[in-house]
Amino acid sequence: MRPQIVLFGDSITEQSFRVGGWGAALADTYSRKADVLVRGYGGYNTRWALFLLHHLFPMGSEKPPVSVTIFFGANDAALLGRTGERQHVPVEEYKENLRRIVQHLKNRSPAVLVVLITPPPVDEQGRLEFARSLYGDKATKLPERTNESAAVYAKQCVELAKELGLPSINLWSKMQETEGWQKKFLSDGLHLTAEGNAVVHEEVVRVFSEAGLSAPEMPYDFPHHSEIDGENPEKAFQNLCAGSHKSNMRPQIVLFGDSITEQSFTSAGWGTELPERTNEATAVYARQCVELAKELGLPSIDLWSKMQETEGWQKKFLSDGLHLTPEGNAVVHEEVERVFNEAGVSASNMGGNPENP
């Protein structure tokens, strides 16, 4: 029912749903408007990405995404003769691979909004410092990537976007407009800090908005709570019809709930003046929830009890007496992960699939 936005790229995309990541921020921006799906593959270059296209974006799909960001180049630009040469892709091939990715997406859905994102700049000193932190005296004395090389790949990415009439984000140039970008935007000379992620998020939102995919102008998937009549709630849902469902290749974990779930992709969310409510009343509903889970043989999380095991839970876990602080979100995340693991849905034990060879 919701339109989908797919983020396709390497580790900078894969990490985008971490705390403070640009993907999580984008999911928050488009909350209840579009589903943001991360398809990031650490270490991948455009040559390897081609093998994923028919798995991630199969032809004839009933529901193609409304937009796809393509964010490769950081690994393609690894230098020959250095520690990362296995990932190196010649710049001419890099440009052609990007073209093939775009063509596949456009053949699948001509209306899809494709956005090309250049690799970020490289802080060579930061890369050397990162290598020393891992390998000590055995670390390489020469960076496996250089800012000069990244510039060449960024230029080809932007040029291809112009040739194909696509929007692009020149991250290589954008970040270097800020003094001290090396430490401000890059955590290890290549990957992004929270501030670096914020730059990507801001640029993607800008490009999406300019292309007509503005979150404020998109409709909610279901009525806003303010439109629901407490005495006659069904009226707000009369014009909705059941949509068809078709499973994707990846297993899906759906977070279904109220504003505490809606806000779970905000910064530090667990996914990422209330006198009209009382803790006593909440306890009654919490107890019924746990009892029902027992009746049905389902796992449950008694968040009401769990949080109150901690002294000072009121301010530690709740930002406004109801919604969650980062620490509160962390409790939910930890409990959900625990229950999933106990039920055999452990992330570390989940097997590979055709889209992740």
Q: Could you report the per-residue pLDDT of 55-71, keeping only the tens digit for each?
A: 999 988 888 999 999 99
Q: Give a yes or no: residue 69 inside a domain.
A: yes
One-letter amino acid at 111 equals A
pTM for this predicted structure: 0.79
Catalytic position from the list 11, 31, 67, 264:
11
- Look up residue 137 and give its DSSP letter: G
Say yes or no to pLDDT of 357 above 60.
no
Give the whole-angstrom CA distance, residue 124 versus residue 142: 9
313 phi and psi angles, rounded to 5 deg: -60, -30
Give the whole-angstrom CA distance, residue 175 versus residue 120: 7
Reading across the β-sheet that carries 4-9, which strands appear in turn?
35-40, 4-9, 67-71, 113-117, 168-169
Give the whole-angstrom CA distance, residue 23 versus residue 42: 15
Read off the pLDDT of residues 198-249 as tens digits, 9 standing for 90 and up.
Answer: 999 999 999 999 999 999 999 998 999 999 999 999 998 887 754 433 333 4
Q: Give a yes or no: residue 249 inside a domain.
A: no
Task: Give the contacts of 52 (CB within 8 A, at least 6 positions apart).
Answer: 39, 41, 355, 357
- Residues 68 and 132 grouped into a single domain: yes
The enclosing domain of 85 has a CATH number of 3.40.50.1110
For the chain, the domain total comes to 2
Give the residue numbers spanning the domain of 180: 4-216
- CA 127 remoteness from chain centre: 24
Q: Give a yes or no: residue 240 inside a domain.
A: no
CA geometry: angle 112, 5, 166, nearest 5 deg: 40
Read off the pLDDT of residues 7-39 as tens digits, 9 standing for 90 and up.
Answer: 999 999 999 999 999 999 999 999 999 999 999
- Look up residue 118 and give its DSSP letter: P
Q: Give a yes or no: residue 248 inside a domain.
A: no
- Residues 145 and 69 grouped into a single domain: yes
Q: Give a yes or no: residue 251 inside a domain.
A: no
11 in active site: yes
